[in-house]
Amino acid sequence: MLSIPISRQYLSINSRFIIGSHRSFSSSQSFRNVSTLVFLEHKAGKINSATLSALNLAKSLGGGITGIIVGSSKSSEMNEAIEKAKKLPISKLLVKEDDNLEHVLAEPFAPLIANVTKERSFTHLVGGTTSVTKNIFPRVAALLDVQQISDVMKVIDQETFMRPIYAGNALCTLKSKDSIKVITVRCASFEPITDTSEGEVEIEKLESIQAGQIISNWSSETLTKSERPELGSANRIVSGGRGVKNKENFDSILIPLSDKLNSAIGASRAAVDSGFADNSLQVGQTGKVVSPDLYIAVGISGAIQHLAGMKDSKTIVAINKDPEAPIFQVADVGLVADLFEAVPELTKKI
């Protein structure tokens, strides 16, 4: 009786995955069907791009994909987000509305997500790498007693993944022995999915599984308002560093170029620390990791920390007056010039 479904599963799993050299189905858990829960992150009624990247990774695992969307019914934005979620390529949507879930705090969110994952026997829990999942997922993983796999950049098979270490200067391929894989997805490595399904998504309101208690109290938030494309998902980025010298220059030199290119604006840590730009614009190991089609680095030397955040960009342009700056080693197009002359000229001529 047992051998038939197992061999069927074996075949179906096998055909879906890229077969790595270390692949093995010897442990019993490998025979389990893959069943993935994707944490659908939303803000202002929209599902964020990181989630769409996470869905792309989830697809590559094979198996069914269920989405979970969480928030407070008090806000109309939650309803908008649910409508958007229904159009995603998922087979089922779990909805949890609770006033304790109005603000995204780890204490109420983590037990909920951990319990859903466990009770519904999901094999994988997946979310995009954002400040939200970086906050919540480790707490979820601890509650599930599993070792989280952060910032996955490649799926080898359902239990084998590649992730960057040492600021992206080494790539580590690991096999997770945990029965549940808790994964955050390196957004720069997975295209956000664009196909939206028109099929029926089954919706289930979670009643029996409760959110955790609120422990911390949310007071306020201050968001940087911008008409520009969002840094994490922009196709083009113009980024400034210490060489721009001050905030006035940062605005007067970078903004016109950015406007012309319809790009997002980024900054190196030096520029952020010197107050030229808001810290939410920081690109690097400790800020955002981006991979736009075009990255223009202006007055940025190219410290390891910064390169970790942008070296997967398709085309990199560097404008810097120091010909020895490390940024030139990764730039496809390097111009050794005074940025105060070159950037306005570039803006004019594009």
Instruction: Name which of residues 34 to 93 contact another protein (CB under 8 A).
Output: 43
**Binding-site size, another protein (CB under 8 A):** 88
343: tokens are 């950037």
> Residue 130 CB: number of other CB atoms within 10 A?
23
Residue 269 among known ligand-binding residues: yes
Residue 268 among known ligand-binding residues: yes
The distance of closest approach from Cβ of residue 152 to another protein in the complex, given in angstroms and rounded to an integer, is 12
240 phi/psi in degrees, rounded to 5: -115, 150
Is position 305 an interface residue for another protein (rule: CB under 8 A)? yes
The distance of closest approach from Cβ of residue 52 to another protein in the complex, given in angstroms and rounded to an integer, is 15
Cα–Cα distance between 245 and 256 in angstroms, integer?
17
Q: Biggest alpha carbon distance in the chain? A: 76
Stretch that binds another protein, among 25-33, 82-90, 135-143, 199-207 (CB under 8 A): 135-143
The distance of closest approach from Cβ of residue 50 to another protein in the complex, given in angstroms and rounded to an integer, is 9
Q: Based on CB atoms, which residue is closest to another protein, 4 or 350?
A: 350
Residue 284 among known ligand-binding residues: yes
Q: How far is CA 215 from CA 107, 145, 219, in A?
A: 6, 21, 13
Is position 131 an interface residue for another protein (rule: CB under 8 A)? yes
Residue 300 among known ligand-binding residues: yes
Contacts of another protein in 164-203 (CB under 8 A): 164-178
Among 96, 139, 154, 306, binds another protein (CB under 8 A): 139
Is position 311 an interface residue for another protein (rule: CB under 8 A)? yes
How many Cα neighbours within 13 Å face the side chain of 37? 24
Stretch that binds another protein, among 26-34, 68-76, 250-258, 308-316 (CB under 8 A): 308-316
- Residue 345 Cα to chain centre, angstroms: 35
Is position 19 an interface residue for another protein (rule: CB under 8 A)? no
Is position 262 an interface residue for another protein (rule: CB under 8 A)? no
Is position 338 an interface residue for another protein (rule: CB under 8 A)? no
Is position 117 an interface residue for another protein (rule: CB under 8 A)? no
Among 150, 249, 258, 263, binds another protein (CB under 8 A): 150
Residue 302 among known ligand-binding residues: yes
Residue 285 among known ligand-binding residues: yes
Contacts of another protein in 227-246 (CB under 8 A): 232
Cα–Cα distance between 147 and 164 in angstroms, integer?
16
Stretch that binds another protein, among 4-12, 81-89, 200-208, 214-222 (CB under 8 A): 214-222
Is position 299 an interface residue for another protein (rule: CB under 8 A)? no
The distance of closest approach from Cβ of residue 277 to another protein in the complex, given in angstroms and rounded to an integer, is 13
| DSSP state letters, 1-42 | --HHHHHHHHHHHHHHS---TT----SGGGGSPPEEEEE--E
Cα–Cα distance between 196 and 249 in angstroms, integer?
42
Is position 273 an interface residue for another protein (rule: CB under 8 A)? yes
Among 148, 189, 239, 268, binds another protein (CB under 8 A): 148
Cα–Cα distance between 128 and 22 in angstroms, integer?
26
Q: Based on CB atoms, which residue is closest to another protein, 47 or 65?
A: 47
**Residues 161 and 106: beta-carbon distance below 8 Å:** no
Q: How far is CA 312 from CA 12, 225, 248, 295, in A?
A: 33, 27, 29, 10
- Give the alpha-carbon dihedral of 296, 299, 302, 305, to 10 degrees: -90
Cα–Cα distance between 65 and 51 in angstroms, integer?
13
Stretch that binds another protein, among 80-88, 143-151, 193-201, 249-257 (CB under 8 A): 143-151
Strand order in the sheet with 124-128: 149-152, 181-185, 124-128, 35-39, 64-71, 92-97, 202-205
The distance of closest approach from Cβ of residue 297 to another protein in the complex, given in angstroms and rounded to an integer, is 11
* Binding site members for FAD: 242, 268-269, 282-286, 299-306, 320
